[in-house]
Structure 1
Amino acid sequence: MNIDHLKDKFDLNELEVSILTYIKKNQKNLKNITIRQMAKDNFTSTSAIYRLCNKLEFSGYSDMIYHLSSNTQNNAPAQKYENYLPHFIQLLNKHKNSKIVVFGMGFSAPIADYICQRLTLNGFYAMSVIHTEMLDENFQDDTLLIIISNSGITNRLIDFVELAHKQHIDTLCFLANKNSKTYQYATLPIIVGTYNPFSHDNLVPNTFFGQVLIVFESLLYSYLSSKK
């Protein structure tokens, strides 16, 4: 829970910030805390807590507790991709103070930008690029390359992956096509969905990019939780 973000977004006063701090500190036990107990612990009234619920756009106290409880963070994507989690955590730990280059072309580019910003907000030195020149001799063993590609077979992308492999750069890939050089060269290839060579057809729904965001957020959440 990012309290500073919530304070700015919902224009919270100091008391409301104090209540949120209390909620964050007791997140694992929230379901056992009544509204009267919360009011007492924060030297305020139940009316003040109801006003906070309204400000945060919850229907009531129970709704707020349900959504802010740490247990609601356990979701299907995290469980489905949990086999990737140990290696994912290992790579982020290894490159906590390294350069992280996030690469995506076409529809993958905005996904790369999003991943880059999320990593930056959590203390990583990340940059979103589209130029292979970024992998010169200055970006080698201390660099992590993150690639987003549905097919994994674009010529320019393959050149990028081969160059990273040659320079011993760790590569984390989100892709759908297991039968690609990108998959073969990746340090950690994460298969998202099923590859459809006709996904460029406007009449065929392409869920790959949305799924990548969900998988990345699930893995990142688990990584951040492991640091607490």
Structure 2
Amino acid sequence: MFLPEQISKLNELESLVFDFIVKSPEQVQQMTIRDLASKVHVSTSTIVRLCTKLGFEGWADLKFYLKSQEREKTPEEQHYDNMLEFNMFLRRMNTEAYQARLNQAAKMIAQADYTVFLGLGTSGSLSEYATKYFVNTGLRSFVISDPFQAVQVRGMGTVVAVILSVSGETEQVVKKELEFKAGGAKIISITNHEDCTVAKLSDLNLSYHLINEWSKQYPLGNLTTQLPVLAILEILSHKSIDLLTEKS
């Protein structure tokens, strides 16, 4: 599914390409990027920019997505469409660009004396899980689960705060992030999209770009899958301890 906020960022030529893709997805699946460029009379670079704005790594990534949407879904996929989105995330995570960001985040953690996790709600539960996972890996970590708990960073050495937030706009989380920044901590944010306050305030953002899902029974219940967050956290712990092991 293409998100409204992504589509709104398309320029005139990109919108022309997007319109053709939406109207003729089966035809597009059989085309090369040059075929499509010739068909809609644009440059291949325009199509590459379109793919990036829609959250894909490139033309092949977009074609894979179109193919996954066309095939007949299993009952499990019909019940939980976010599995397809998670599959797309795993493909993006394995790209060179995303791995470079993971490596950069792992280097920040490996160079720190402590890693502090922060999140509220489901993100708070994941922060507690991450703390246990990091400690079990051999990394000094703790969690702030109370949004009213004071942040004490100064005098603790080098601190990296890993902030988890689906929306990246929760007021209490933003306030805590500002406290961390004021205390001199480095900040890694993990959010659904990079165009949010938490991501913009952080030193490094890792986003996963999944469709927001809400409870049908409880309108405020955010059911957006957190599987990408678990994957990111576990990979970061292994990459970080590997860097420390190499150093020692």
Shift of 1:162: 1.4
Instruction: Verify: 1:206 aligned to 2:224, yes or no.
Output: yes
**Matched residue SS, 1:111:** helix
Residues 102-181 of structure 1 aligned to structure 2 (within 5 Å): 102-131=117-146, 132-136=148-152, 138=154, 142-181=158-197
Give the residue type in structure 2 aligned to 1:201: S
TM score, norm. by length of structure 1: 0.57
Question: How far apart are the structure 2 equivalents of 1:151 and 1:136?
Answer: 25
Shift of 1:172: 1.1
Question: How far apart are the structure 1 equivalents of 2:93 and 2:153?
Answer: 36
Report if the CA contact (8 A) 1:141-1:170 is conserved: no
Give the residue type in structure 1 aligned to 2:99: E
Shift of 1:163: 1.5
Instruction: Assess, with a 3 A threshold, how the Cα gap between structure 1 residues 127 and 202 changes in structure 2: closer, same or farther.
Output: farther
Give the residue type in structure 1 aligned to 2:151: L
Task: Report the count of equivalent residues.
Answer: 149
Deviation by residue 1:168-211 (Cα, 9 ceiling, x = unmatched) = 21111110132221111111110122363xx333488622x111
Question: How far apart are the structure 2 equivalents of 1:102 and 1:130?
Answer: 8
Instruction: Assess, with a 3 A threshold, how the Cα gap between structure 1 residues 84 and 161 changes in structure 2: closer, same or farther.
Output: same
TM score, norm. by length of structure 2: 0.53
Question: How far apart are the structure 1 equivalents of 2:155 and 2:192?
Answer: 26
Residues 18-167 of structure 1 aligned to structure 2 (within 5 Å): 76=91, 79-80=94-95, 81-95=98-112, 98-131=113-146, 132-136=148-152, 138=154, 142-167=158-183
Shift of 1:85: 2.4
Instruction: Assess, with a 3 A threshold, how the Cα gap between structure 1 residues 166 and 91 changes in structure 2: closer, same or farther.
Output: same
Aligned-CA RMSD value: 2.6
Partner of 2:239: 222
Question: How far apart are the structure 1 equivalents of 2:132 and 2:197?
Answer: 27
Report if the CA contact (8 A) 1:102-1:116 is conserved: yes
**Matched residue SS, 1:133:** coil
Residues 177-192 of structure 1 aligned to structure 2 (within 5 Å): 177-192=193-208
Question: How far apart are the structure 1 equivalents of 2:216 and 2:124?
Answer: 19
Question: How far apart are the structure 2 equivalents of 1:179 and 1:143?
Answer: 25
Question: How far apart are the structure 1 equivalents of 2:134 and 2:106?
Answer: 13
Instruction: Assess, with a 3 A threshold, how the Cα gap between structure 1 residues 174 and 122 changes in structure 2: closer, same or farther.
Output: same
Partner of 2:82: none
Gaps of 5+ in 1: 1-74
Report if the CA contact (8 A) 1:141-1:167 is conserved: no
Bigger Rg, which one = 1
